[in-house]
């Protein structure tokens, strides 16, 4: 009975989102958004500012009561045929991230593998995976060490970006190992992720990042080095 109730609520949440997005759909914007995102998955043409009221209504009417319901609703939203439905799935998952723990990781991994593009993957990695990692590092870190060797570049990118918001709580050994493990790759999204992760950490530990960059300058791609050194160059810590 409880399972049926969760599934029903998830279906209702999905229908609410679809109806709200359909009411605001704009075919011209939909084409423009798909072109910008290089997406074959269609858009409704509803931009972020207009999605915020939908998220508020969704969060008010379908706030999860437990992790099982949280997962059911996120899954239902993610199954939508339009890109904005997936954006709202991620936004909803972030809004109620207190319900996320190691038990949510299979769902987040599924979203990364099926999403397979930066607009989905980056918030999942930093805000969802990152939050669980921060709370349960001993349980999550071994999984991420497997992810950094995964065939999917989006899984590897997620591992690199998982500590973006950790600041002083960053496991710099893991961060640097992940950069070392992938710095040989030619893939733009991996090179960019390395630079981004290093740049973010340089705000917290400039000396450590400077030492890493200089020690590995010959192996890092110019893109990774340039992105990783941005803050250090601007602040004068690296010349």
Domain that holds residue 82: 1-99
Residue 116 lies in a domain: no
Position 99 pLDDT exceeds 80:
yes
Could you tell me if 64 and 96 are in contact, meaning their C-beta atoms sit under 8 angstroms apart?
Answer: yes
Residue 192 lies in a domain: no
Higher pLDDT, 116 or 239: 116
- 3-state DSSP assignment of residue 145: helix
What's the distance, Cα to Cα, between the start and end of the chain in Å? 65
Q: To the nearest whole number, what is the mean pLDDT of the chain?
A: 96
Residue 28 lies in a domain: yes
Residue 222 lies in a domain: no
**What is the per-residue pLDDT across 7-60, written as a single tens digit (0 to 9) for each?**
999 999 999 999 999 999 999 999 999 999 999 999 999 999 999 999 999 999
Residue 23 lies in a domain: yes
Residue 56 lies in a domain: yes
Query: For residue 88, what are its two tokens?
Result: 């709202």
**What is the per-residue pLDDT across 124-143, written as a single tens digit (0 to 9) for each?**
999 999 999 999 999 999 99
Residue 71 lies in a domain: yes
Residue 115 lies in a domain: no
pLDDT-derived band of residue 239, with 50, 70 and 90 as boundaries?
Answer: confident
What does the alpha-carbon distance between residue 115 and residue 157 come to, in Å, rounded to a whole number?
13
CATH number of the domain that residue 29 is part of: 1.25.10.90
- What's the domain count of the chain? 1
């Amino acid at each position: 009975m409880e399972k049926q109730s969760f599934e029903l609520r998830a279906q209702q949440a999905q229908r609410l989102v679809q109806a709200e997005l359909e009411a605001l759909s704009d075919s011209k914007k939909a084409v423009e958004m798909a072109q910008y995102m290089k997406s074959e998955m269609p858009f409704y043409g509803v931009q972020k500012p207009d999605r915020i009221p939908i998220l508020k209504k969704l969060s008010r009417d379908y706030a999860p009561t437990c992790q099982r319901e949280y997962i059911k609703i996120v899954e239902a939203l993610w199954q939508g045929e339009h890109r904005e439905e997936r954006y709202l799935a991620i936004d909803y998952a972030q809004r109620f991230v207190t319900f996320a723990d190691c038990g949510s990781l299979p769902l987040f991994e599924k979203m990364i593998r099926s999403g397979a593009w930066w607009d989905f993957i980056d918030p999942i990695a930093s805000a969802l995976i990152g939050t669980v990692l921060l709370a349960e590092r001993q349980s999550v870190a071994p999984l991420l060490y497997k992810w950094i060797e995964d065939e999917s570049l989006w899984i590897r990118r997620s591992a690199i970006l998982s500590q973006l918001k950790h600041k002083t709580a960053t496991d710099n050994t893991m961060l640097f190992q992940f950069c070392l493990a992938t710095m040989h790759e030619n893939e733009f999204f991996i090179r960019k992720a390395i630079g981004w992760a290093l740049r973010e950490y340089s705000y917290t530990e400039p000396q450590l990042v400077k030492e890493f960059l200089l020690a590995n300058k010959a192996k890092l791609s110019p893109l990774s080095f340039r992105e990783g050194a941005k803050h250090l160059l601007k602040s004068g810590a690296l010349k």
